[in-house]
């Protein structure tokens, strides 16, 4: 069931995949582009911030987010699976983020 929310010239849509998360996590990454001395290796983490719709139970041991979800048919796109051991912080975002209204295309 699709629910629509409106305030002034803004609207938001909820179709049951309502848990929006911001996840801050450490990614595996290359630390040199070519041959380098050990003292030249960057020792800092690669901190990534990802935002999307939580896909619960999609992959054991991971938080799985979809960037895009097609309303009502369960199709998702740009899915990232983040290993739980790499997660540093999780923030649940409020549902019903207001977006500018465009003519509705169905």
Dump pLDDT digits (tens) for 15-51.
Answer: 456 788 999 999 999 888 899 999 988 889 999 999 9
Average pLDDT, the chain: 80
Does residue 34 form part of some domain?
A: yes
Count: domains in the chain: 1
Q: Confirm whether 106 is domain-assigned.
A: no
Asked if residue 55 belongs to a domain, the reply is: yes
Give the mean model confidence (pLDDT) for residues 49-58: 93
Q: Per residue in 79-88, is it b (16+ CB within 10 Å) or e — as a string?
A: ebebeeebee
CATH of the domain at 77: 2.30.30
Domain annotation covers residue 102: no
Q: Examine residue 1 and state whether it is found in any structural domain, yes or no.
A: no
| 12 within a domain of the structure (yes/no) | no
The reply to whether 78 falls in a domain is: yes
Question: Model confidence over 70-81: pLDDT tens digits?
Answer: 888 889 999 999
Please list, residue by residue across 19-36, b when 16 or more beta carbons sit within 10 angstroms of its beta carbon and e when fewer do: ebbebebbeeeeeeeeee
By the 10 Å C-beta count (0-12 exposed, 13-18 middle, 19+ buried), 1 is classed as exposed
Quick check: is 26 in a domain?
yes
Look up the domain containing 28 and give its range. 18-93
Sign of torsion over alpha carbons 70, 75, 78, 83: positive
């Amino acid at each position: 069931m699709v629910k629509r929310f409106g305030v002034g010239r803004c609207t938001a849509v909820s179709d049951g995949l309502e848990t929006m998360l911001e996840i801050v996590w450490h990614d595996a990454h290359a630390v040199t582009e070519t041959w380098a001395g050990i003292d030249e290796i960057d020792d800092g983490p690669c901190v990534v911030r990802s935002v999307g719709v939580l896909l619960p139970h999609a992959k054991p041991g991971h938080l799985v987010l979809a960037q895009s979800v097609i309303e009502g048919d369960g199709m998702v796109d740009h899915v990232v699976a983040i290993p739980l051991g790499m997660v540093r912080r999780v923030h649940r975002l409020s549902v019903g983020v207001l977006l500018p209204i465009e003519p509705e295309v169905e």
